[in-house]
Amino acid sequence: MIHDLNWQGPFAFRSGRDPLIMGDTRADVPGIYLWVVPVRNRSLPYYVGESGKSIAFRHYDHFREYASGKYTVRDGRKLAAGEIDEVNKGVFWAKDGWRNTQKFIDNFAEYAQHLEVYLDSIKIYLAPLDADRRTRRVIEGTLIRHIYSLAGAVAAVGQIRCFSGCEVEQADSWTHPHVPE
């Protein structure tokens, strides 16, 4: 089965020029989403995700994990220049990682400032898709593989990775999604 992805956006985490991902009803749908970072008049892919419920609520989850120290906080100013630099290594992947959050708690004000700039540097695009989890993950994985295949052309691929349980299959055909500038 072929699924057409109709990309919408950009959206933003925080108030500014773009509509807010958590405040726009267009994001209250299941589907695929893509984070890009504008760098020197280009949009570099940074993260691909999927949600079976509300893409808006999934972004609330992302924010909550960043704010708790579970996700890695990156330097937003460097990210906007096309560089990736960790300010605080998240504890998401570590077994009993929550036990290692004291540094994050002690330096919360500093990390919050970095997180503010980091979230401001991300533009979010979404493609509504009412499909089962396996299909969403296959499409997510296919997008990730395609983005990695373009790594030389886009110069940088942020933290795009396929999470556990994500099945990656080669699509029969690929239509490159146009992400407006």
Residue 166 lies in a domain: no
Range of the domain at 44: 8-154
Average pLDDT, integer, range 158-178: 35
Do residues 151 and 178 touch, judged by C-beta distance below 8 A? no
Task: Note the pLDDT tens digit of each residue in 3-53.
Answer: 888 999 999 999 988 999 999 999 999 999 999 888 877 788 888 999 999
User: What is the value of pTM for the model shown?
Assistant: 0.79
Instruction: Tell me what percent of the chain is helix, strand and coil, each rounded to the nearest 5.
Output: 35, 20, 45
Residue 77 lies in a domain: yes
Residue 88 lies in a domain: yes
Task: Compute the distance between CA of residue 108 and CA of residue 98 in angstroms, rounded to an integer.
Answer: 15
Residue 98 lies in a domain: yes
Residue 150 lies in a domain: yes
**Domains of the chain: total:** 1
Residue 21 lies in a domain: yes
Residue 173 lies in a domain: no
More confident residue, 96 or 119: 119
